[in-house]
Amino acid sequence: MLRPSNASVPCDQSGVARAVAALRAGGLVGLPTETVYGLAADARNNAAVKRVFTAKGRPADHPLIVHIADISDLHEWAKDIPAYAHALAERLWPGPLTLVLPARDDTSRLLTGGQDTIALRLPAHPAAQEVIRQTGALAAPSANRFGRVSPTSAQAVVAELAEVLDDADVVLDGGDCSIGIESTIVDCTSARPRILRPGFYAEELINDVAGIAGVPVSEASDVPRVSGSLPGHYAPSTQVTVVQPDDFAGMDGARLEHALVLTTEDVAVPSPAAHVMKARDALDFARILYAAFRRADELEVQEVLVTTPPAVGIGVAIIDRITRAVHGSAHMNP
């Protein structure tokens, strides 16, 4: 278990060195990225990767995302890479984009969840890039228990996983994540790309960069399994309820007093609401979404009342995460 005095280390030269040493020794590292914090292990060390599954309580058939240091590393993990996948990588990496590609025959199926596909990403956070440059590719799903709220700060990683991490493991503190929700996942195993999980990069941009008209957000059953695709995911313990902005005016005061409200600055919330978090715009909404969910659990309120942004750009991804949180929290609060 992590000691309080050793809970996290800053993203300076010494902190990066400690993280690199831990990974080389088969340990785990809470790694900052621009999206959410990952729980990283040496992708070529099966024993270390198994620790990731154990720490998260993650099913073995749920694939991991492998984080690489350079576009040229694609070929170390994937084969039969289509031209549009190269175009996406060249234009949008480093950044919040994960490409699902046919896995090389020598790729560990522990990473792929037993599938013949591998999910790859080149993160934009400078500390993550430096750690990966020194260690090689890292398997790094979000640093939370399986199905729960992804952490967007080092403090959230410690709160979530301190009891299952060893004192030799490291949580690298890179500050709050600049985006706050997980990467866009694009299936690149067919003649045309398919979005499997919406994120910061919207469908229109993927379509433009890939140069193939009509890239769909997939609902097909024949696509690879990927991270964050279960109906109930990203869920706090507190019940999450979607409401309309106009609902607050007629809402029972007692309900508001025992809720955390997450909405935008242009929505009026009556004074009985004890806890209100307001976003300036859609990107700010994404940044504070998971922090709001975690805050609700800390406050032990009865409900998170959330309005959704328009289904445009990153708003599509925000709605996806909220929808899954509603489903997941409902199963925890029957």
How far apart (Å, rounded) are the C-alpha atoms in residues 284 and 112?
33
Q: Are residues 162 and 263 in the same domain?
A: no
Q: What angle do CA 237, 242, 247 make, to 5 degrees?
A: 130
**pLDDT value at position 175?**
97
**What does the pLDDT look like over 230-256, one tens digit per residue?**
777 788 999 999 999 999 999 999 999
**pLDDT value at position 304?**
98
Residues 6 or more apart in contact with residue 13 via CB below 8 angstroms: none
Residue at 59: amino acid letter = P
Average pLDDT score over residue span 171-175 = 97
**Is residue 196, in this structure, part of any structural domain at all?**
no
**Is residue 207, in this structure, part of any structural domain at all?**
no
Q: Are residues 12 and 156 in the same domain?
A: yes
Q: Are residues 56 and 145 in the same domain?
A: yes
Q: With a cut of 80, say whether residue 217 has pLDDT above it.
A: no
**pLDDT value at position 186?**
95
Residues 203/97, Cβ–Cβ less than 8 Å: no
How far apart (Å, rounded) are the C-alpha atoms in residues 139 and 74?
14
Residue at 287: amino acid letter = R
Last residue of a domain, one of 154, 181, 208: 181
Q: Facing residues of 117 across strands?
A: 102
Q: What is the 3-state secondary structure (H, E, C) of 266-322?
A: CCCCCCCCCEEEEECCHHHHHHHHHHHHHHHHHHCCCEEEECCCCCCCHHHHHHHHH
Across 215-224, 272-281, 318-327, least confident range: 215-224
CATH number (domain holding residue 128): 3.90.870.10
How far apart (Å, rounded) are the C-alpha atoms in residues 67 and 51?
17
Average pLDDT score over residue span 313-329 = 95
**pLDDT value at position 226?**
79
Nearest Cα to Cα of residue 99 among 86, 108, 80, 114? 86
Q: Are residues 145 and 66 in the same domain?
A: yes
Reply yes or no: is the peptide bond before residue 236 cis, omega within 30 of 0: no
**Is residue 154, in this structure, part of any structural domain at all?**
yes
DSSP state of 134: H
Average pLDDT score over residue span 63-90 = 97
**Is residue 227, in this structure, part of any structural domain at all?**
no
**Is residue 231, in this structure, part of any structural domain at all?**
no
**Is residue 209, in this structure, part of any structural domain at all?**
no
Q: Are residues 248 and 147 in the same domain?
A: no
**Is residue 26, in this structure, part of any structural domain at all?**
yes
Q: Are residues 97 and 172 in the same domain?
A: yes
Last residue of a domain, one of 165, 181, 197: 181
Helices (H), 57-197: 74-77, 83-92, 109-112, 126-135, 154-161
Which domain range does residue 172 map to? 4-181
Domain count, the chain: 2
Q: Are residues 264 and 171 in the same domain?
A: no
**pLDDT value at position 274?**
87
**What does the pLDDT look like over 28-56, one tens digit per residue?**
999 999 999 999 999 999 999 999 999 99
**What does the pLDDT look like over 80-130, one tens digit per residue?**
999 999 999 999 999 999 999 999 999 999 999 999 999 999 999 999 999
Q: Are residues 259 and 143 in the same domain?
A: no
3-state secondary structure of 97: strand
Q: Does 175 or 7 have the greater pLDDT score?
A: 175
Q: With a cut of 90, say whether residue 6 has pLDDT above it.
A: no
DSSP state of 57: T
CATH number (domain holding residue 318): 3.40.50.11030
Average pLDDT score over residue span 178-185 = 97
**pLDDT value at position 326?**
95
Q: Are residues 177 and 299 in the same domain?
A: no
Q: Are residues 120 and 17 in the same domain?
A: yes
Last residue of a domain, one of 155, 181, 207: 181
**pLDDT value at position 1?**
80
**Is residue 219, in this structure, part of any structural domain at all?**
no
